[in-house]
Every structure is written in C-alpha cells, then in structure tokens.
Amino acid sequence: MSKSINIIKSTAVPVNIENVDTDQIIPARFLKATTREGFGENLFRDWRYNSDGQPKKDFILNNPTYHGKILVAAKNFGCGSSREHAAWAIKDFGFDVVVSSFFADIFKNNALNNFLLPVTVGDDFLQKIFSAVEKNPETEIEVSLEKQTISIPETGEQDRFDINNYKKTCLLNGYDDIDYLLSIKNEIEKFETSTN
C-alpha cells in the first residue's frame, strides 16, 4: 500500500450511479481471502463481468477511453456493509482518490485508513467534473490534500474539501492510527484503572 499522499493529478473514471453500496463495489462471494491483496480484480464485479466472465462492454471500467487514479462517483457512495475490502479493491485497482458529493460513514473511514483519499465536493462541482470528463476523457483533475482543493486545471474551476487536521497530518506523513494509539498506551491503561 502506498503510504503518504499529497498532490494527485490524473485523468478520472466517472461512475455516475447514485447509492453505490459496498456489495456492488465488491460482492460478498469475493471476500474470502485472508490477505489484503488482489481485490482489484473483482472491483464492481457484477457490473463489470457477465456471469460467464466476459466483460460487459457498456460498463465504464471496461472502456479504455477512461482511465486514471481518480474515481468520480455519484451521491451516497459506499453505503451498506462495513467491508474494508471495498476500499482495498478500489485502491488495488489503482485509484488514489474517490470523489463524491456524499460518502457513507464507514466507507470514508475505511478509505482514509488505506490512504485512499475520499474527497467530498458540492453537488454542482460534482456535475462539473462529470461533464468535463464525459466530454473529454483526457481531462485532468488535480487534488491537493495540503491545500484541501480539487480543481479542473483546464477550466480553472476549483472546490474546497474538508478533512480533519489529525487525518490530514496522518495522510501527508504516512502515519497510521495504530502507531498513534500504541504511543499513548500508558494513558489508555490509566483510563482503564480510573473507570474500574
């Protein structure tokens, strides 16, 4: 897993479908692995492949015109099951950023824990990205975590996104939550004695 992120400039893949649940991102029957690798193969499995394993031509991930490190999704992305496999699959496929106007809570946390940056933009800006990318698949999108901005350099349009400071520092520096929590173990033990 690539650690630490800041500026990502790339073309994007638009999946303009609302309420994409994690069962679509990675169906349950592909959750049987005991490692974190290889889930990208089955990302959006049932939208991407027919039951005989042939790629479905009309699904965007099978269209070579669209490629890049940024997945642009419609509202309420990642709802449903808490499976972190969804974030692993997206990351493993090669995305570093997911853009939407609304993310489900657990998915957002899972993404952040895997250095996959969830960028929440306004509905209008999301539409702008969709139309720019659909019009010209080579349109680049630029995300700066440091500045908390997302822009379409070609048109100069830009939006800001929120992220809490702690998480931002973690992502910029490649720290993870477990390292932090382990470093305050004394305080956790003290807390346990004080509440018992």
- Using rule CB under 8 A, residue 83 touches other proteins: yes
By the rule CB under 8 A, 76 interacts with other proteins: yes
Site for other proteins in 3-42 (CB under 8 A): 17-19, 21, 23-24, 27-29, 31-36
Q: Cα separation of 101 and 144, whole Å?
A: 17
Instruction: Indicate the residue among 71 and 104 with the shorter CB distance to other proteins.
Output: 104
Q: Distance between CA atoms of 109 and 102, rounded to whole angstroms?
A: 13
125-144: which residues touch other proteins (CB under 8 A)? none
The 149-152 sheet, strands edge to edge: 7-10, 141-144, 149-152, 157-160
Q: Which is nearer to other proteins, 49 or 93 (CB)?
A: 49
Q: Which is nearer to other proteins, 114 or 151 (CB)?
A: 114
Q: Tell how strand 149-152 and strand 141-144 pair up.
A: antiparallel
How many Å apart are CA 56 and CA 44, to the nearest integer?
11
19 vs 158, beta carbon nearer other proteins: 19
Q: How many CB atoms lie within 10 A of CB 83?
A: 22
Distance separating alpha carbons of residues 29 and 1, to the nearest angstrom: 23
Positions in the binding site for other proteins (CB under 8 A): 17-19, 21, 23-24, 27-29, 31-36, 46, 51, 75-76, 79-85, 87, 102, 104-106, 109-110, 113-114, 164-167, 176-178, 180-182, 184-185, 187-188, 191-192, 195
